[in-house]
Amino acid sequence: MPGYEWADRNTRPSLTGIPCRNFLPSMRRGSVAGAAPRWWLYLPAFFLIAAGWALALPVNGTYDEKDHIARAYAVTTGQLTTHRTVVDRRDDRKPAFLVPASLMPSNSNVDCAWAPRPARPADCQRWTTDRARVLTPSGAARYSPVYYLLVGAPLVIAPDRTGILLARLISALAAAALLAGAAGAALRLGSRLLALGVVLTATPMAANLAGSVNPNGLEIAAGVAVCCGLLALLRAPDALLGDRAVRRLLVLVGVGSLALLTVRQLGPALLTLIVTACVALARPGRIAQLWRRRETRWIVAGSWSLGLAGSLGWMAYSDVAGVAAVVRDAQHLAPPELAQALATRRIPFYLRQAVGQFDYGETKPPLVVTAAWYLLLVAVVVPSLIHGGRRLTLIATTLGAACLGLLLTLELHYLPIIGWFAQGRYAMPAATAVVLCAACAPQFERRLASQHRLRPYCTVLTFTAAALHVYLLAFVMTRFRSGPAARLDPFTGAWQPPVGALPPLLAVLAGGTILAVLAAATTGDSTRGPVHTPSEQHALPSMPNVQ
């Protein structure tokens, strides 16, 4: 594997139990082996980017945050379910919890920045210091309590904007830890492009959700972590996977799987898609080798069994799949009309939202910015598929089609009941695996390394992604400060973030800078592979060409 240097002593057991030489990571600049222990440096980078969004957004400044805030307070105070209801601003009767009035603006005012139209700056929200508990509707009233137990304590201790900010930061930290683990797994595999794939799949939309009280952000990070952990376990050469490395990767997969299965209802379907794609890319005999290890059965199989039992059990207990019909929004379209609406409106919405369509969908960045992010993804995925062969292309395209099919199935099911339902962010935990599976194939990376272009390639793409993160945060800040049609200026306007405009931008800039520095420091262009003894040459299967 390019970039690794091996010692001539200190043997240890490999994944198969055959002794192999331990490697001493070279700290030489450009050595991936030297970079592998530094996975934790990705943690502050991803956290700072998500924290920038947490500091910049007004309360309820992204999809359904008001519902998740109320749910988190309720779960933490023992209100797992509710029989109470209240009429919301649209005259719909919704499940409701008793929460302090100071936690959020009133039911009629909390959505004022985007509804009723036209959208306005966030200074329209009205707050109170009264902590008397009032009935507050929540569209997440039946959701699994797992995520809300994670973020709910600050809301109980400080039921106001301070508590919401702390809850957001906890959510951002949890997502950042999973993304950092995914980057570490990529480095363990020796794949610089896979580490770049982790950075690019952490889109501005994913960072926006991670920096809010919303389980979707943690769910996306969990999908990335599970995919990278499985790819490292199933594709890395035996010599790179000692007992300690295997255990760490198994823990990453187990924790990510538990999060993916339990925080939202689509978790089982999303995990199935990810696992199927990764298994299809496994080295010959690797699955059987892993299964013979007791840690695999305890950690991975245990987490899947526990998570699936918890997910299905909660669904049955809460009847979360039962949705009351909304006659006002339900639509009954003829097949030609339905096909046209899906092709011209819904699918483009899915694609735009995956990168960034913010607030409640009304804040749309310039199309050229969204296109620029997709060009970054194309720069990794397309050449990797071209060099990786037909089998890799088939796996990636099938996974992408399955993710799209999942969204379309949701639309077809819910359209005659409650109207348009699916959103691109729902499929992102599995859709990221399209990029990651393509990026893990070594052929394109080796070609770049042989031409001494791997370092600038990864650095330029990461730097461009960091610049887009900063721009999009400034764009959304301008929207909340001055309104949707305002000229780009995050430093002036009727509303401002509680910490001011500069700290959020500096946080995202710092996080993006760390990622760019890591891309430059951990990316080498050496094509020299690991040195094995003759016996090891026979013991270790070669990295399969994904043809």
Q: Are 208 and 71 in contact (CB under 8 A)?
A: no
φ, ψ for residue 91, nearest 5 deg: 65, 20
φ, ψ for residue 21, nearest 5 deg: -75, 135
Q: How far is CA 456 from CA 2, 25, 426, 469, in A?
A: 17, 23, 33, 20
192-201 and 454-482 helices cross at what angle (nearest 10)?
Answer: 10
∠ CA 265-266-267, rounded to 5° = 90
Of the CA atoms within 13 Å of residue 393, those in its CB half-sphere come to 10
Q: Are 215 and 248 in contact (CB under 8 A)?
A: no
Residue 371: partners with Cβ closer than 8 Å, 6 or more residues away: none
DSSP track, 459-518: HHHHHHHHHHHHHHHHHHHHHHHH-TTS-S-TT-SS---TT-SHHHHHHHHHHHHHHHHH
Nearest to 357 by CA among 463, 472, 218: 472
Bridge partners for 87 per DSSP = 93
For the chain, how many residues are written?
Answer: 547
d(CA 165, CA 39): 27
Structure tokens at 503: 């700290």
| pTM listed for this prediction | 0.90
Q: How far apart are the first and last CA of the chain?
A: 19
At residue 378, what is the residue type? V
What is the reported pLDDT for 323? 76
Q: What is the pLDDT along the chain (547 residues), one digit of tens a residue?
A: 333 333 333 344 445 443 443 332 333 333 343 334 477 889 999 999 999 999 999 999 999 999 999 999 999 999 999 999 998 877 788 899 999 999 999 988 999 999 988 999 999 999 999 999 999 999 999 999 999 999 999 999 999 999 999 999 999 999 999 999 999 999 989 899 999 999 999 999 999 999 999 999 999 999 999 999 999 999 998 777 788 889 999 999 999 999 999 999 999 999 999 999 999 999 999 999 999 999 999 999 999 999 999 999 998 888 877 777 788 889 999 999 999 999 999 999 999 999 999 999 999 999 999 999 999 999 999 999 999 999 999 999 999 999 999 999 999 999 999 999 999 999 999 999 999 999 999 999 999 999 999 999 999 999 999 999 999 999 999 999 999 989 999 999 999 999 999 999 999 999 999 999 999 987 655 443 333 333 333 333 333 433 3
What is the reported pLDDT for 525? 54
Q: How far is CA 286 from CA 21, 180, 281, 395, 543, in A?
A: 20, 25, 10, 18, 12
φ, ψ for residue 441, nearest 5 deg: -65, 130
Q: What are the sequence ranges of the domains in the chain? A: 11-62+163-539, 65-159
What is the reported pLDDT for 242? 81
Residue 242, Ramachandran bin (φ over 0: left; ψ between -120 and 50: alpha; else beta): beta
pLDDT tens digits, 80-92: 999 999 988 777 8
DSSP 8-state symbol, 41 = G
Helices (H), ranges, 267-346: 267-280, 286-291, 294-295, 302-318, 335-341
